[in-house]
Amino acid sequence: MYITEQEKFWANEFGTEYIERNQGEQLLASNLNFFSKALQQAGIIESCIEFGANIGMNLKALQLLYPSIRMKAIEINGNAANILGDFIGKDNVYNGSIFEHTVESKVQLSLIKGVLIHINPNMLQKVYEQLYNCSEKFILIAEYYNPTPVALNYRGHEDRLFKRDFAGEFLDKYKDTELIDYGFSYRRDPAFPQDDITWFLIKKK
């Protein structure tokens, strides 16, 4: 059913357990702060798609920032996709692998946050292609950063967490894109902690 072991990992029990660890009012507040900074140079966002949206904590923050935004999402875990569907509408949720998703219509913003780090490195080019093809104008990549590729242990599991320069690879792949803003969010921020995420806002020329 799935091409990679990483997909199976998130589609099954571990992905369901992730739901409980990643929700709540503090996370929503941190996400509001995060997106208000990361999208400052983008103006009003009218439509978006999130790759690996889980139950929609990022999308909830975006809806508060942009009340009229139209939202779509891709989510591999069935339990998370059901919760997400109750929020943005089941017709707006693709429950399946990013690799299998078909681009039917473009949106203003393609968003991926804390997901590329869990993708099999051999499949990254496919995800970059999806991010690019879904976007009319902006791509926001928010992930752990490392100048060179490295694999780390993730909660006792091997080959489930990878760090590299995802945005740099994306920019090199698509010459008609440009970096317009970037920044870092620290897990020890006293008010709005994030998970040591480096973000890159990219625009199609």
Q: Which ranges of the chain would DSSP assign to H, the alpha helix?
A: 5-11, 13-21, 25-38, 57-65, 78-88, 124-134, 166-173
Domain of residue 123 covers 5-204
Report how far residue 163's alpha carbon sits from residue 180's, in angstroms, rounded to the nearest whole number.
22
| CA distances for 84 relative to 54, 79, 161, 185, angstroms | 7, 9, 24, 25
Q: Give the total number of structural domains in the chain.
A: 1
pLDDT, residue 25, reads 86
Report how far residue 157's alpha carbon sits from residue 154's, in angstroms, rounded to the nearest whole number.
5
What's the rounded mean pLDDT across residues 129-148? 97
CATH number at residue 35: 3.40.50.150
pLDDT, residue 44, reads 96
Residue written as tokens 């990361």? 38
For residue 15, is pLDDT > 60? no
pLDDT, residue 14, reads 55
Contact between 180 and 202 under an 8 Å Cβ cutoff? The reply is yes
Report how far residue 146's alpha carbon sits from residue 21's, in angstroms, rounded to the nearest whole number.
25
pLDDT, residue 154, reads 73
pLDDT (tens digit per residue) in 155-171 = 666 667 899 999 999 99
